[in-house]
Amino acid sequence: MWIAKTKVELRARLDAASRPVILVPTMGALHEGHASLISLAREKAGTDGTVIVSLFVNPIQFDRAGDLAAYPRPLAADLDVCEARSADGVFVPDDGEMYFPDRSVTVTERSLSTHLCGAARPGHFDGVCTVVLKLFLLTGCEAAVFGEKDFQQLAVIRRMVRDLDLRTEIIPHPTIRESDGLAMSSRNARLTPEHRADAPRIRQALLTAAGKSDVASILRVAGEIIGGSSYARIDYLSLVDAETLAPTENLAKPAILACAVFYGEVRLIDNIAVARAFP
């Protein structure tokens, strides 16, 4: 497995790489969820293709300086995960390699990113779209793998690919969870023992609420379960149209119940599909 730290090194490696190239964009601190994305990429690339994992904590998608500073960066462990899941190469740039000091171009999505995390974290998806487009261009990848835990991110990236006529296939992967239901996240490692023990209530709240028969009940039940914790603070809790990501009252169409919850300074997200027509 090769490691490239610069764009020049990456391009040299890719010039000799066999196709297709499948990219797994990550910010590192890899867990089993990320490992499953790499395995899926390996499956899609086949034995002759090339799987590249990017490890880059993208500064321009963070809305809080403290969150960026605290984000874990266990490079040696991350490289071990990549090698164990048969990645062919890893791209590990630093901030200066990815962004010019006087950069002045940003990619902005103006519809799907206006709710949920986009509303709670202004500028977040500008940063996501910009870095993902740069990684697509740098790698020339035929496909890229993204997890469904970040449902809004997946939708925004798909829209960017559609609207900019990119030739990169977007491959989704279902959310990977801990045995107690908590969605795997690099941020889980920053939870205190008390917060970690309490955090599975997020999944419990979504599962219980998704079985209710009207929007008001769905939101009320989920809010009561999460709000029943003295540790948890809801950032947002919303039922949105699965296609537009706008808040919806229409349960006859596929919808997503999504939330972001703070435990101290650690922000966790999760979602569940509500896709059935009620009589």
The answer to whether residue 240 is domain-embedded is yes
pLDDT of residue 227: 97
Asked whether residue 251 falls in the same domain as residue 121, the answer is: no
If residue 167 lies in a helix (H) or strand (E), which one and from where to where? none
Q: Model confidence over 208-240: pLDDT tens digits?
A: 999 998 999 999 999 999 999 999 999 999 999
In a domain, 273, yes or no: no
CB 221 within 8 A of CB 212: yes
Distance CA 240, CA 235 (A): 15
Burial of 122 per CB tally in 10 Å (0-12, 13-18, 19+): exposed
**Is the same domain home to 9 and 65?**
yes
Domain of 242: which CATH number? 3.30.1300.10
Question: How buried is 43 (Cβ within 10 angstroms: 0-12 exposed, 13-18 middle, 19+ buried)?
Answer: middle
What are the two backbone dihedrals, phi and then psi, of residue 171, each rounded to the nearest 5 degrees? -110, 115
- Same-domain status, 8 and 145: yes
Q: How many domains does the chain have?
A: 2
Mean pLDDT of the chain: 96
Indicate whether 180 belongs to any domain. no
Quickly list DSSP for 141-155.
Answer: -SEEEEETTSHHHHH
Written as tens digits, the pLDDT of the chain (279 aa) is: 999 999 999 999 999 999 999 999 999 999 999 999 999 999 999 999 999 999 999 999 999 999 999 999 999 999 999 999 999 999 999 999 999 999 999 999 999 999 999 999 999 999 999 999 999 999 999 999 999 999 999 999 999 999 999 999 999 999 999 999 999 999 999 999 999 999 999 999 999 999 998 999 999 999 999 999 999 999 999 999 999 999 999 888 899 999 999 999 999 999 999 966 444
Q: Do the domain assignments include residue 39?
A: yes
pLDDT of residue 276: 60
User: CB–CB of 206/272 below 8 Å?
Assistant: yes
- pLDDT tens track for 125-146: 999 999 999 999 999 999 999 9
Please indicate, yes or no, if residue 277 is contained in any of the structural domains: no
Q: Domain range spanning residue 224?
A: 186-268
48 lies in a domain? yes
Contact in structure between 61 and 25 (CB atoms under 8 Å): no
Instruction: Decide if 20 is inside a domain.
Output: yes
Instruction: Supply the pLDDT for residue 278.
Output: 45
- 132 and 236 fall within a common domain: no
Tokens of 100: 């010019």
* Contact between residue 140 and residue 14 where contact means Cβ atoms under 8 Å apart: yes
Answer for the pair 3, 146: CB distance below 8 angstroms, yes or no.
Answer: no
Domain containing residue 138: CATH number: 3.40.50.620
- 124 and 192 in a single domain? The answer is no
Residue carrying structure tokens 């028969």 = 213
| Residue 279, pLDDT score | 46
The number of helix segments (H) and strand segments (E) in the chain equals 11, 9
Asked whether the beta carbons of 95 and 228 are under 8 A apart, the reply is no
Q: Is residue 195 part of a domain?
A: yes
| Distance (Å, whole) CA 59 – CA 131 | 10
Question: Which is the catalytic residue, given 34, 115, 124, 173?
Answer: 34
Last residue of a domain, one of 149, 173, 197: 173
Told to judge if 34 belongs to the known catalytic residues of this protein, a careful annotator would answer yes
The residue out of 118, 144, 173 marking a domain boundary is 173
**Domain boundary pick from 125, 150, 173:** 173
Verify that 153 and 203 share a domain, yes or no. no
Same domain, 169 and 190: no
Asked if residue 201 and residue 161 are part of one domain, the reply reads no
Same domain, 109 and 35: yes
